[in-house]
Chain A
């Protein structure tokens, strides 16, 4: 990689790493070790194709898409039948102990969703992507994304209660 391009990549990676990591934490439902692994893999892939990525209209969005697909590939490899993680998620100590109940509740609920449903939730409600954009990132049809979204929301409602805010906050 030429120096100028290498610098450009390094700057991009430094700026985006935090956001990618947080997305990965939601995708993995709080498995921070796996989240780090996914982000490293994503950055590695971006490094390889940086020439092209740098020309894309929205490299940040593109990076998120690569993360999403890296996650889905990981899930597929791990088990084709596994539907959700049963392991209690790692929860970081934020020092002041704030928001812990909320985070636990949400992450626990996310952990109980099938991987693809979780991906839809993260893309739609944390990344704020449209159905179309979500479908594109996941290599799925809009109809499939809608179906997943309806199902995931239904499940989250069930797990968190209709009034999520009331339930989640202490």
Chain B
């Protein structure tokens, strides 16, 4: 949807009034800062206690000096930052096809449209930032109309993917028609027939199709009944392509090929180091990977990403299970995975360890499955037969078998 409304009088007033409205909100800032720091200290302490105690941590420490201690406490902090770019793209496992140029984008769009006259074409190729795009003015003989196509990726199955293809409620946006269709192959496409200006101060019609494939391709097609999105006089009663034609245009295979040709990061802004929220939330993911109906979870680490844990019980005693997900640990691979590590068909290495828990209480053992993919992405899961690091064993061996730990560590769910 290549239009940006920022700058309408309503928006300008909204901005101004928000500022005015918050002016009166103030609080004891010193108390806030003190309380915040306290929380930080507590958080740090908890992570250290959880991570340092087990064998997993000591393994990691060999190679990278504290990678498991969480953001900010180890020398590997920058790796978490890199995870923004590398951890989220699952649609690009195959070798990247050759890039598509802006000129090719224009030719593709012209080729897909019914016969007519084309002018004012502009485009970006798959290697250009912020991502491939083409727009032109099309005239089928009944009036010039702007048409544009934007390409990108969304995380398959995510809220974003759903929101992209869900018709907005009519009380929120004025439009004449909207429908969402599921195509053969599983793609979902929304066609919205609305207006360029939500307040209808000019009646320029803006029709768009938003298509998302199960692999996460996102194709966005727009057309107007004017030669430009904004500021051009209405040239015809309606945009040239019908809803069905829009749908078909969005579904053209050429767009998906172009998206496949995008380098993994062109559709995203430059990665910014982020503390916690860029990979999956560990505890809920771990929870979803447990055998169903066996365990009661009594404690979890919340929605933190990177590192998380669960305390679970199958009725025979508590277990502490922790997982660490790291974006690029390739430089520590040699230290973490010896020559005896198993190598899977796709190159993923798996190392397993069963050792006494270093700081654990009496009888506590730590079972570990460590995995690293060829691109450096690492998932390590460790399990104690006690309810917490430092506590005595509650049972002879941990509840999850090595096979179960392995299955959990190799799950693709960590990299959604």
Set B14, B29, B39, B171: member contacting A17, Cβ < 8 A: B29
Residue interface mask B7-28, A partner, CB < 8 A = 1: 0001101111111111111110
Among A10, A22, A48, chain B packs the most CB atoms within 10 A around the CB of A48
| A164 with B10, Cβ < 8 A, contacts A132-B269, A153-B5 known | yes
A102 touches B39 (CB 8 A): no
Of A43, A106, A133, A141, the residue contacting B39 (CB under 8 A) is: A43
Check B1–A147 contact: CB distance below 8 A: yes
Q: Which residues of A contact B6 (CB under 8 A)?
A: 124
A148 and B72: CB pair below 8 A?
no
Contact pick for A48, options B163, B268, B275, B303, CB 8 Å:
B275
Cβ contact within 8 Å between B41 and A47: yes
Is A39 within 8 A of B163, CB to CB?
no
A52 is an interface residue with CB less than 8 A from chain B:
yes
Q: B78, A102: Cβ atoms under 8 Å? A: no
Number of B residues, CB within 8 Å of A: 74
Binds A, one of B54-62, B112-120, B152-160: B152-160
Complex: A151 Cα to B166 Cα, angstroms? 12
Query: Which residues in chain B, 199-220, are within 8 Å of chain A measured between CB atoms?
Result: 199, 210, 218, 220
What residues of chain A lie closer than 8 Å to B14, measured between beta carbons?
Answer: 121, 125, 153, 156, 164
CB-based contact A155/B32 at 8 Å: no
Chain A: interface size category = 35 or more
B70 within 8 A of A: yes
Q: Report the Cα distance A61→B268, complex, angstroms.
A: 17
Residues of B within 8 A of A106 (CB): 17-18, 21
**In the complex, A92 Cα to B78 Cα: how many Å?**
41
In chain B, what residue has the closest Cβ to A126?
B18
Expressed in whole angstroms, the Cα–Cα distance for A103 and B172 within the complex equals: 22
| A156 CA / B8 CA spacing, docked (Å) | 14
Q: Does A86 make an interface contact (CB < 8 A)?
A: no
Our pick among A26, A147, A157 for the contact of B22 (Cβ within 8 Å) is A26
Q: Is B22 within 8 A of A126, CB to CB?
A: yes
Q: Which chain A residues lie closer than 8 Å to B198 at the CB level?
A: 150, 153-154, 157
A122 neighbours in B (Cβ, 8 Å)? 18
Asked if A111 is at the interface (CB within 8 A of a chain B CB), the reply is: no
Contact residues in B for A133 (Cβ distance below 8 Å):
269
Q: B352 interface residue, CB < 8 Å from A?
A: no
Q: Which residues of B contact A18 (CB under 8 A)?
A: 26, 29
Contacts from B to A (Cβ < 8 Å):
1, 3-6, 10-11, 13-27, 29-30, 32-33, 35-44, 47, 70-73, 77-78, 80-81, 130, 152, 154, 159-160, 163-164, 168-169, 171-174, 198-199, 210, 218, 220, 268-269, 272-278, 302-303
Q: 4 tightest CB-CB pairs across the interface, nearest first? A: A43-B36, A47-B40, A44-B39, A94-B24
Beyond contacts A142-B152, A146-B4: 13 other A-B pairs, Cβ-Cβ < 8 A, are A18-B29, A36-B27, A40-B32, A43-B32, A43-B36, A43-B40, A44-B38, A49-B77, A52-B80, A102-B17, A143-B1, A150-B1, A158-B172
